Amino acid sequence: MLPEITVQELKSMQDANEEFLLLDVRNEDEYSLCHLNALLIPFAELPQRLSELDKNQHIVIYCHGGGRSSRATKYLIENGFPHVSNLKGGITAWATEIDPSMPKY
């Protein structure tokens, strides 16, 4: 089973100023609609852009609903990134449970 965190856990991490990288694996057009303060690396570009990520850093990965970020989490683990977590429910869960003013699509 892949490591996952909930949107409430992510909000707590942000509020506590914990050190982690938030990685958005959606496409640029989705990112332009709404996003969290995150590094955008679309899922299709991940293999070519691994060098932009620090294997020692905790990385929280999100997408629209959790599918692509689950695959990205698995991919990073398989490529030597031990500290990764998938954001359960993606940005849709964030918009529903944490920030209802965020646009949904």
Residues with a catalytic annotation lie at: 63
User: How big, in percent rounded to 5, are the helix, strand and coil portions of the chain?
Assistant: 45, 15, 40
**CA–CA dist 69, 60 (Å, integer):** 9
What region, left, alpha or beta, does residue 37 occupy, with left being phi > 0 and alpha being psi -120 to 50 degrees?
Answer: beta
Is residue 71 a contact partner of residue 26, using CB atoms and an 8 Å limit? Answer: no
**CA–CA dist 67, 63 (Å, integer):** 7
